[in-house]
Structure 1
Amino acid sequence: MGGAFVAAALLARLGGRIGLPTIPLFILAGILLGPNTPGFVLVADPHDLEMLSALGLVLLLFYLGLEFHMDDLKQGGRRMALAGGTYLLLNVGAGLAFGFLTGWGTREALVLAGVLGISSSAIVTKILVDLGRVGSPETKPILGIIVVEDVFLAVYLAILQPLLSGTNGPGDAALKAAKALAFLLLLAAAARYGTKIIGRLFDTRDNELLVISFLGAAVLVAGVSEWFGVADAIGAFMVGLMLGSTTSAKRIMTLVHPLRDAFGAIFFFAFGLSIDPGDLPSVAGPVAIAVALTIVMNVLAGLATAKMYDFGRGPAGRVATTLLARGEFALILATMAASAGLNPRLSPFIAGYVLVLAVLGPLAAGRSDWLARVRPGEPQPELVGAGK
């Protein structure tokens, strides 16, 4: 585990010098030091890091839940919901069509719909901060689209989990889906109406007790969620959602941040361990098609969002390129697909797709002024310095 941390950190620092995001570098570290690559093998069996990887996934979604608030949907209004819905319709729809065209299977197509349809919140946030665009006019709709994606993801995973785990006919599938949705609704009701009670339970000035309390709650609910057929990551997300509205929310975010980063790195590293580089050439064609399709759909979504908000060409390009990266959510789906024993080509495909877009997304966002030139109309003053 120590070697995994050090290897991921060294590679990420080297990549940071040329402006690359950390997620693909953590995955690359796992690929290079795993059992499927010639040379030094740091971890011979990916299952050795399975529990730590699961904890990383739980903490990633728990933190995301802390950042999300029920009021976010109301504050964004109709335009935010419309922009997010348009983005999902274009990208998830294209992903589903692509999945069926691959001929890998129906369940595989459903996984690919989510993989191609959901942006990486971690990379999107990092892009906005690194490029100094937090106060830009297009940032609010970008974050609004991310919020809508998060809500969609929670529901989608709740429905997808029982379908991937296998069922004995339509009746069994419906029963499992109903069981999962009922538990999800119970957690949502607790997040909506139980904030005061939950806040009292976690109200302590002792940081040690607070860490033990929220970590225990997140992991416990994640485990119970799996028993009800809801993905463990979504259970952790709902716990974060509950705690995000309490008086302890800011302290919890501060305390969980280093835990999220550390064990999140192990999650991405462990995913890399499971990838055989020899399998990547066999999916190079589908990866190239999927990347091209995602770029086209993001351009269309960026133009549609710009029209809804009366933006010029510069913000349209920045919306399209900022939301281009794919990351943690795609890998969550890859992990679920592998556990369900789906087509073995899914894992190398998702790894290649994420690696390409996780690198291409930030690079394109930093040079988003190129997209502005393809939209007809008079040059906009906002284009000056848009790529900086």
Structure 2
Amino acid sequence: MGHAETLLAMGGAFVAAAVIARLGRRIGLPTIPLFMVAGILLGPYTPGFVLVDDPHEFEMLSALGLVLLLFYLGLEFHVDDLKKGGRKLFAVGGIYLLLNVGAGLGFGFALGWGTREALVLAGIVGISSSAIVTKLLVDTGRLGNPETRLILGIIVVEDIFLALYLAAIQPILGGAEGAAEMLWQMGKAFGFLLVLAIAARFGTRLIGKVIAVKDDELLVISFLGAAVLIAGISEKLGVADAIGAFMIGLILGGTTSGPRIRELVHPLRDAFGAIFFFVFGLSIDPGDIAVVAGPVAIAVGITIVGNLAAGIAAARMNGFGALPAANIASTLLARGEFALILGTMAAAAGLDERLTPFIAGYVLILAIIGPLSAGITEWLVPRLGLHPGDEAKIPRHAEG
């Protein structure tokens, strides 16, 4: 692809993603699945106009989008939320992960696609989309609801699990030969995580002084350079670049420049994140989604049941009634960026080719069902066999 063709394709990708997302937003759909749809419609596997013949031509832009997504997630990570929630928050988050990740792992083994594929499916089915969840809370006006703090707490616990999970699964996906090599690669991954965690705990003041600058332009160059550099070092060490990006975001988020960085990185994250989702869509053959329609439908059903059970358990542990339980379950239902990250890693590792279309169909369906169900929880409560009057029994301490 020549220089002019590259610019045309890149500009066309941004414009197409924006147009389709704007159309979808009018009926209340989140942008993540719509960016994927734009990629599918303009990709080489769909009849009609083809914007990009080879998705690999956008590989670097897609990688940058992934780095910025995880970097921003790290910036938004608040250790104070864990301290405030205490053991109960870890217990609730643990139950949520146990039910959903456990169900995903069992489903993966039942499919018979392979052990590595089952481990990937466990993460795909088990982790909510932080981007869609936070967007839903804003759009539905529930930021002030008593159960919202619990929802955000579960997301924080998921973020911790995400970092550890990626560190553990990378050597497995990389095809480490023998137990010794696998343990060595896992040791490197967790050692790297430990170094960054120590830096986050004890080095934020020093790092804050190094990165602090009044000029916004220089600050953008500084944090962007740090995110990409640490992601590259992670990849060089055999650790997923996403882990390094997440951890450097966590470190910089704790500095005095953290609030400015969050504000400045937001448009970059949105722009290149859109390209990441668009490029994932380019690699999808709609015909392949039809082949895995059965497993997708089963996985969606498992996820709905798992989230409902986890939502009821979380609500009861915190003294909430039926409506907050339905709000928790529906808000955490959507799957998005983390599933696509795992899909990208699985494709790079040469895993079963059915994983990519499976992830696409699964994410598309849940990214639509999640927001729609979150908007009708009052209607859903009696139809789920719950008692709508129970929410009046929320104890005073849970409302704070």
TM-score, with normalisation over the residues of structure 2? 0.94
Aligned residue in 2 for 1:379: 389
Which of these residues, 225, 228, 246, is aligned with residue 234 of structure 2?
225
1:291 equivalent among 300, 312, 315: 300
Residue 69 of structure 1, CA deviation: 2.2
| Paired residues of 1:317 and 1:370 also in contact (CA < 8 A) | no
User: Which structure 1 residue ranges, 5 or more long, are not aligned?
Assistant: 384-388
Alignment match, 2:340: 331
Matched residue type, 2:328: V
- Rounded Cα–Cα distance in structure 1 between residues aligned with 2:90 and 2:128: 16
Q: 1:262 aligns with which of 264, 271, 275?
A: 271
Aligned length: 383
Structure 2 equivalent of residue 200 of structure 1: 209
Q: Greater shift after overlay, 183-192 or 314-323?
A: 183-192
Structure 2 CA distance for aligned equivalents of residues 29 and 192 of structure 1 = 41
Larger deviation: 108-117 or 185-194? 185-194
Query: How far 1:227 sits from its partner (Å)?
Result: 1.5
Point out the more displaced range, 314-323 or 64-73: 64-73
Distance (Å, rounded) in 1 between the aligned partners of 2:11 and 2:277: 15
**Alignment partner of 1:189 is 2:190:** no
SS of alignment partner, residue 34 of structure 1: coil
Structure 1 vs Structure 2: percent identity of aligned residues? 70
What do residues 18-41 of structure 1 show as CA deviations (whole Å, max 9, x unaligned)? 111100000000000000111100
- Unmatched runs of 5 consecutive residues or more in structure 2: 1-9, 394-400
Relative to structure 1, the CA distance from residue 311 to residue 172 in structure 2 (aligned partners, 3 Å threshold; closer, same or farther) is same
Q: SS of 1:39's equivalent?
A: coil
Q: Per-residue deviation at 1:375?
A: 4.1
- Given candidates 14, 23, 28, the residue that maps to 2:32 is 23
Q: Determine if contact 1:314/1:382 at 8 Å carries over to the other structure.
A: no
Residue of structure 2 equivalent to 1:65? 74
Seen in structure 2, the aligned counterparts of structure 1 residues 313 and 381 have a Cα distance that, compared at 3 Å, is closer
Report the residue type matching 2:301 in the other structure.
A
For residues 38-63 of structure 1, what are the alpha-carbon distances to aligned partners after superposition, in whole Å with 9 as ceiling and x for unaligned? 11000111011110000001001101
Aligned to 2:374: 365
The structural deviation recorded for 1:372 is 2.0
Give SS of 1:280's match: helix
Residue by residue over 1:261-318, the C-alpha shift from the partner in whole angstroms, topping out at 9 and shown as x without a partner, is 0000000000000001110111000000000000000000010011011101100000
CA distance in 2, matches of 1:380, 1:162: 47
Superposed displacement of residue 73, structure 1: 1.3
Root mean square deviation, CA, Å: 1.1
Relative to structure 1, the CA distance from residue 372 to residue 187 in structure 2 (aligned partners, 3 Å threshold; closer, same or farther) is same
Give how far 1:229 is off.
2.0
- Equivalent-residue separation in structure 2 for 1:144 and 1:46 (angstroms): 36
Q: Which residue of the partner structure matches residue 287 of structure 2?
A: 278
Partner of 1:289: helix, strand, or coil?
A: helix
Regions of 4+ moved over 3 Å: 375-378, 380-383
- Cα distance in 2 for residues equivalent to 1:69 and 1:381: 28
2:36 paired with 1:50: no
- 2:240 counterpart of 1:209: no
CA distance in 2: counterparts of 1:379 and 1:18, whole angstroms: 31
TM-aligned CA distance change 1:378 to 1:3, over 3 Å: closer
